[in-house]
Amino acid sequence: MQYQLGDAWVVVAEGEYDMHSVTPLADVLTSAAVEKTKVVLDTSGVTFADSSFLNLVILVHQTTTLRLAAPGPQVRRLLSVAGVDTVLHVRETVEDAAAS
């Protein structure tokens, strides 16, 4: 699901993301990054993410203003272990991410 919230374009991610399942999300985020100036990735529904997801997030972050919203413990741990939690813009809620 995707929708406009203020001046941000929100992409909702749900389920598991690995090398076999990340392509649809990659297509949506890549398209949004080209067309929008601020993209929010709602990660509240992500139950598993590996380096494929992390790579996608970093690539999109380099293309546009990307905010990660509402990450659960699994996504937070992935970001922390990779050392990108201080580089990426992570916010507690979608609303906070869209407003920042």
Q: Read off the pTM.
A: 0.95
Task: Give the whole-angstrom CA distance, residue 59 versus residue 61.
Answer: 5
Three-class SS of residue 71? coil
Q: What is the pLDDT of residues 1-29, one digit of tens each?
A: 999 999 999 999 999 999 999 999 999 99
Q: Where are the domains of the chain?
A: 2-99
* CB-CB contact of 47 with 15 (8 Å): yes
- pLDDT tier, 97 (very low <50, low <70, confident <90, very high otherwise): very high
Q: What is the pLDDT of residues 24-76, one digit of tens each?
A: 999 999 999 999 999 999 999 999 999 999 999 999 999 998 999 999 999 99
Task: Give the whole-angstrom CA distance, residue 29 versus residue 81.
Answer: 23
Q: Looking at domain 2-99, which of 3.90.1640.20, 2.40.50.100, 2.40.30.170, 3.30.750.24 is its CATH number? A: 3.30.750.24
Q: Give 1-47 as a 3 state SS string.
A: CEEEECCEEEEEEEEEECCCCCHHHHHHHHHHHHHCCEEEEEEEEEE
